[in-house]
Amino acid sequence: MALGFRKQELEDLAISFIVLTLVFSRFELRLIPYVALGIFTAFVFHEIAHRQVARKYGYYAVYRRWDTGIMLALLLGILNKLLGLRFIFAAVGAVQVYSLYAGWEDREIYGKISLAGPVTNILVGVFALVLLLFGKFSGILWASLYYTAFINLWLAFFNLLPIPPLDGYKVLRWNPGYWGVAIGVAFLLQSLL
């Protein structure tokens, strides 16, 4: 397979992708196609970025879904829909990084691995945002670009919150300056939408 995915990893990614698509679309059938593109570019690209950077540094890395997070995302998503709230819980899994030396952690490498996902989201979000702001799109293309920009930039900001086990916690431990720039840029960009 192109990126060396195993069957279980693909299954975990697919289940997480479907759950996030349902939650971000607020269970509205008409929004699912647009949201699905946003989730694919935000969630799947984010996790692949973590995975590939970890592997670049010689770590074993694989995506694993978190069943408790999946249940929380679905239950909170349903409650949001019923009560008209806008809170999204998006912690449905993560790339697990394993070192040959159990218990040993290089803060710089883990910081770079953690930063790879949100930076990928920011880049994709900026690309979609630029097209939205300077292109003359309407209908399906406009909605696809909007949800791609919104979900990528929201996910970058959410993941950069300095709360364990989110990416922001590991980035902040490694380099507070990089963390500050990354979360500041993500917040600024997502607030444009």
In a domain, residue 1? The reply is no
Q: What tokens does 64 get?
A: 């694993």
Which of 28, 47, 105, 108 is catalytic? The answer is 47
Q: Convert the pLDDT of each residue in 135-151 to its tens digit.
A: 888 899 999 999 999 99
Is residue 47 part of the annotated active site? The answer reads: yes
Residue 11 lies in a domain: yes
Higher pLDDT, 119 or 5: 119
Give the global pTM.
0.91
List pLDDT tens digits, range 4-35. 889 999 999 999 999 999 999 999 999 999 99
**In a domain? residue 2:** no
Give the residue from 185, 171, 24, 187 showing the smallest Cα distance to 108. 171
CB 143 within 8 A of CB 132: no
Does residue 149 lie within any of the structural domains?
A: yes
Query: How far is the C-alpha of 67 from the C-alpha of 43, rounded, in Å?
Result: 16
Q: If we measure between CA atoms, which residue out of 122, 181, 180 comes closest to residue 153?
A: 122
Q: What is the DSSP letter of 30?
A: G
- Checking if the pLDDT of 128 tops 80, the result is yes
Domain extent, residue 49, equals: 7-190
How many structural domains are present in the chain?
Answer: 1
Q: What pLDDT is stored for residue 188 in this prediction? A: 97
Cα–Cα distance, 113 to 118 (Å, whole number): 10
